A and B are shown apart, each in its own frame.
Chain A
Amino acid sequence: MAKRIDVSGLNAYYGSFLAVEDISMTVEPRSVTAFIGPSGCGKSTFLRTLNRMHEVTPGGRVEGKVLLDDENLYGAGIDPVAVRREVGMVFQRPNPFPTMSVYDNVAAGLRLNGKYKKAQLDEIVEKSLKGANLWNEVKDRLNKPGSGLSGGQQQRLCIARAIAVEPKVLLMDEPCSALDPISTLAIEDLIGELKERFTIVIVTHNMQQAARVSDRTAFFNLAAVGQPGKLIEIDDTERIFSNPSVQATEDYISGRFG
């Protein structure tokens, strides 16, 4: 079910500004890959190119190839809408649909795809909420607005919403940066469980988090403000944090800048 991602020679632009330059990397299925790096290094921009969300931003433009199990996301005839159904995303700030109940939030993606029987929907919603470790907390208030939950619960609701449509890949853009430590822990545990089923890519500001949850870590950096962000190196997380092959990575990890 989970798919491999192969990126080669990818450039991302905002208008004429080159934000991310010449990135190539491979993300293995059923693993967690963390993107770390200083602010503005383009890691979130790059993440958004993986499900064609980058082009939603005004002026957003992408060159290069992103292969999802050998199929180029930017190839001719590819429907970005279909791409986003295969590659789910969780955002920095929890964003449940404010006018929908908990149940409807989880079912939102399913309903787009059309015909489900009530019983089928119930089953998937329950399964997804359980998958997001949220079921026990919300099972008695499935019909209450999703915006009434706590921040951490909302974020897990968003994860449930994303996994309900069974994507092949799950992208997470700093999913814990707006949350308290306990909620963060809950989500980190969840990531550990989800990688059994999905390919997960997570952007994080928090190096400890990257060390805790990921199998592979990619370090991004930029030469100066106004310069494009680049991939410095990607390797097993353990190696990156113990013995990185590039000096800049070590400087960043040991807190010398960033």
Chain B
Amino acid sequence: MSNATLSDKRPSSLKGATLPKWFAWAVAAGSVALGLGISAAAGLDSSIQWALIAAALFVIGSYGISARVEGRRQAKDRIATSLIWVAFLLAVIPLASLIYETIKRGVKVLDGYFLSHSMGVVSDTEPGGGIYHALLGTLEQVGIATVISVPIGVLTAIYLVEYGRGKLSRAITFFVDVMTGIPSIVAGLFILSLWIVILGMGYSGFAGSMALSILMLPVVVRSTEEMLKLVPNELREASLALGVPKWRTILKVVLPTSIGGITTGVMLAVARITGETAPLLLLVWVTNFINSNPFKDPQGSLPVYIYLQFANSGGLGPAYDRAWAAALVLIAFIMILNLVARGIARWKAPKTGR
């Protein structure tokens, strides 16, 4: 038999020459050292370069040594392992840097004054000023978008799960999927062409909210649908069997059972649209002043504020600091929403869930 030849090579077929456990670490350390050395010798200053050199050395090194000592299959296993570690590290570096830089640069001007004042009397190049107007605008715009899309989204999901069969529900399901993929700028363009170009309305927070709710709707429908599907049929039948009308069954049995999951889904959707910039730039326009009326005239918003401080500052320090600080506030807001949403999901998880 051909496979017998394989085992005959070694005195014991079960023993493979194995490299010690610290082998991978040793190679990693060696590669980093060598990578740094080469970079220093060649006068390369970018961290990206030495990291790439070290990564390449690590992969090639562990393959080479392992192929010699352990054999081809083990070496392949090692190269896969090292590539996967490298992929992980490669991805962690920029993502960690993103968080690190935002916090480091953001805390410089972030204080109570920054949160409670607008940019009204401060020019872009001066220090001072704050994000109050933008914060207010964002809260109003996102709030209105939520008020529009949550009822419609939840009702649509109820239709799909509780009533829907046939062509209509299949069409809705399909187009919800399609809607999920709409680029935010396209949603902005749609409201622009309908509301501003054709109906002749002006810029307003409300116009932005409409675009945001187009982005939010499919997310709400999808997550609510998933949650409603988790409600066991026995519960519905038990209620119906007691003679409770269907609509009351949905309101009193189905929704309360899944309310935790629906809340989570809504909060994640809110988190998603809070950072949207492009449609707001098209529809809400910009202002440095406080405008608390979302139905009239341009409003500020946090994402657009970041963009403006970045784009109009001509590379000057104070504006950059404000951009980072606003970014930090935005990220913090979104992260808190996310964490709370997940907390609720864990706390209120239907007992029958997976």
Contacts and interface: CB of A to CB of B under 8 A. Distances in A.
Interface stretch (A56-64, A111-119, A219-227, A245-253): A111-119
B1 interface: yes
A110 B72 CA distance: 15
Contacts of B16: 77, 79, 81-82
A71 B3 contact: no
Interface string A73-101: 10001110111001000000000000000
Interface of B: 1-4, 6, 12-16, 18, 72-73
A80 B6 CA distance: 16
Interface residues of A, number: 19
B6 A113 contact: yes
Contacts of A83: 14
24 contacts: A68-B14, A71-B14, A73-B14, A77-B15, A77-B18, A79-B14, A79-B15, A79-B16, A79-B18, A82-B13, A82-B14, A82-B15, A82-B16, A83-B14, A86-B13, A110-B3, A113-B3, A113-B6, A114-B72, A124-B2, A165-B3, A166-B1, A166-B3, A166-B4
A78 B2 contact: no
Nearest to A87: B14
Interface string A18-62: 000000000000000000000000000000000000000000000
A78 B3 contact: no
A120 interface: yes
B6 A71 contact: no
A81 B6 CA distance: 14
A120 B1 CA distance: 10
Contacts of B15: 77-79, 82
B1 A86 contact: no
A86 B14 contact: yes
Contacts of A71: 12, 14
Contacts of A120: 2
A86 B12 CA distance: 12
A116 B2 contact: yes
